[in-house]
Structure 1
Amino acid sequence: MRLEMKENCGHEHNHRKSHHSEETKKSLVTRLNRIEGQIRGIKGLIEKDTYCDDVITQISATTAALNGVAKILLEAHMKSCIVDRVQEGDHEAIDELLVTIQKLMKK
């Protein structure tokens, strides 16, 4: 799913903030609501003593869905926040991005 990339990171009193389009926010919240339901479903499976392999399959699907949210955020972050900061001369943004990517890849 391609989302409109009208996001940018603003600076408010040294506190960076992301500004996503309403379309992007709605999509992310919808995905997170679905993931929240998946988590509740996994909890129910465990409470019902569901076969481990079936629970693990659901956990895998939920992890993939959460990674999808992270990918959307990372793409928007790179295309707007990071580009804006580098254009403003803030080259620390690249180091911060590399740390973020390393955190995502640990999973």
Structure 2
Amino acid sequence: MAVLRTEDGKELILTCRCGCDDGIHFKIDKDFEDYMYMAYTNGNFYRDQDNGFFRTLGRKFRKIFAILFNQDYYYAEAVFSKDDFEEFREYINSFAVHKENSTDIVDNQ
């Protein structure tokens, strides 16, 4: 498992520890209208390249049928250790709105 954080603290990349190379990339910036950006990273990039039309179509149909028949379909998952999750929690909590700040916003309106 790798937890990578930028020096300015605005971005965090978490990769799965099982070896599948899946992960999640978070980017939070309070200065822009698009406050948070989250992307799943997939370790199957090269597997999905150079596929023919029918192989790609078949993969799409499997996804559609899973949804139609009320089955769960997921693109990626990530497994975190307790230490990695704690670092992730600290990262997310560093952007939390504190209660005293939220009452100031209500008072100013």
TM over 0.5: no
Structure number with higher helix proportion: 1
Asked which structure has the greater RCO (Cα within 8 Å, sep 6+), the reply is 1
Q: TM-score range by the shorter chain?
A: 0.3 to 0.5
Which has the higher Rg, Structure 1 or Structure 2?
2
TM-score, structure 2 length as denominator?
Answer: 0.34
Give the alignment's TM-score, normalised by structure 1.
0.34
